[in-house]
Amino acid sequence: MNEEGTSMKVLISGANGQLGYALQKTAPTVIGNNASAVSVIALTRADFDLSKPEALAAILDTYKPDAIINAAAYTAVDKAESDQASANTVNALAVISIAQWCEQQKIPLIQVSTDFVFDGKKSSPYLPDDHANPIGTYAKTKCAGERAALENCSSSYVVRTGWVYCEQGANFVKTMLRLGAERESLGVVTDQVGTPTYAVNLAKMIWALLSVRPEQKIFHFSDAGVASWYDFAVAIFNEAKAQGLLTSIPQVKPIATSDYPTPAQRPAYSVLDKTQTWSELNIAPDHWQNALSSMLDEYKKQQN
């Protein structure tokens, strides 16, 4: 507790994931107008399993958090196409249970969601109140998770993000580092456009949201700028070489989505409009190339 004696216990689910890790790494010591002392309860799948929604309320009763950040999710986008029931349980049904508990306790829930709730047919950045039209199983279950949070908990927030990567966990950046060391050339999709998001920047945004507690319910967050997966891969290789993480750069060939078929269809365009987030939460945008450089720097430190 701080001098005034107020404290806030924040429960983070999915503690071993990219965002779960980043939230723990960036947790503030105090939060909100009354500078409540923050204590984090970081729960992994073993402690708080979203595939068992009926068991969650009893676990929450034992921890009695003052706020919940739901960073756990069924994130295997392609696997979800053949495992719809599991994806729906974790991404939607569990959120109903968590949101109902939060409503009973009158505490805020931050539900993390995805740019994939949009169909990608727009050609300008998606606004928070744009119509959601998810096109795959993962996207549909995450969209249902948004509704579960908003309809069952009056103090819930939805934070949509996309293309998340971090020094911790599995992601596109680490896959490219591995392939860059193994191969002389590779093809990367050029007709899917979005914005990469460094999980540490997303985590800081979520802490700011919990501190400010604005009226608005849905927030968009990624880093600044726009990229195709091809652009992102080229930037990863160049930055990794500059930082001494790769000795040479493979040839990157632009390919079409149709050349790299996957079980789940992905939106062709999923850039999010972050202007409201940046202004409401007083956040300075970080360009994705700069954020990538920060992540690779952290990754390099972990390797040494």
Cα–Cα distances (Å) from 274 to 29, 218, 271, 290, in that order, read 26, 11, 9, 17
Q: Which is nearer to ligand NAP, 14 or 36 (CB)?
A: 14
**298, containing H or E segment:** helix 288-303
Shortest distance in whole angstroms from residue 232 CB to ligand NAP: 12
Shortest distance in whole angstroms from residue 73 CB to ligand NAP: 4
Cα–Cα distances (Å) from 58 to 97, 156, 196, 254, 283, in that order, read 11, 20, 37, 51, 36
Shortest distance in whole angstroms from residue 251 CB to ligand NAP: 26
Active site residue 138: yes
First to last CA, the chain: 36
What pairing do the DSSP bridges indicate for beta strands 193-194 and 227-228? antiparallel
Shortest distance in whole angstroms from residue 218 CB to ligand NAP: 14
What pairing do the DSSP bridges indicate for beta strands 197-198 and 109-114? unpaired
Q: Which is nearer to ligand NAP, 31 or 92 (CB)?
A: 92
Q: Which is nearer to ligand NAP, 74 or 229 (CB)?
A: 74
What pairing do the DSSP bridges indicate for beta strands 109-114 and 193-194? unpaired
Residues of this chain that bind ligand NAP (CB under 6 A):
14, 16-20, 45, 48-51, 71-75, 90, 112, 114, 142, 161-164, 169
Shortest distance in whole angstroms from residue 139 CB to ligand NAP: 10
Cα–Cα distances (Å) from 285 to 204, 275, 282, 297, in that order, read 12, 9, 10, 19
Angle at 142 between CA 132 and CA 12, to 5 degrees: 130
SS3 97: helix
The catalytically annotated residue of 126, 138, 165, 230 is: 138
Q: Which is nearer to ligand NAP, 4 or 61 (CB)?
A: 61
Q: Which is nearer to ligand NAP, 76 or 212 (CB)?
A: 76
> Using CA atoms, how far apart are residues 232 and 105, in angstroms rounded to an integer?
43
131: DSSP letter: P
Residue nearest to ligand NAP (CB): 17
Q: Which residues are catalytic?
A: 138
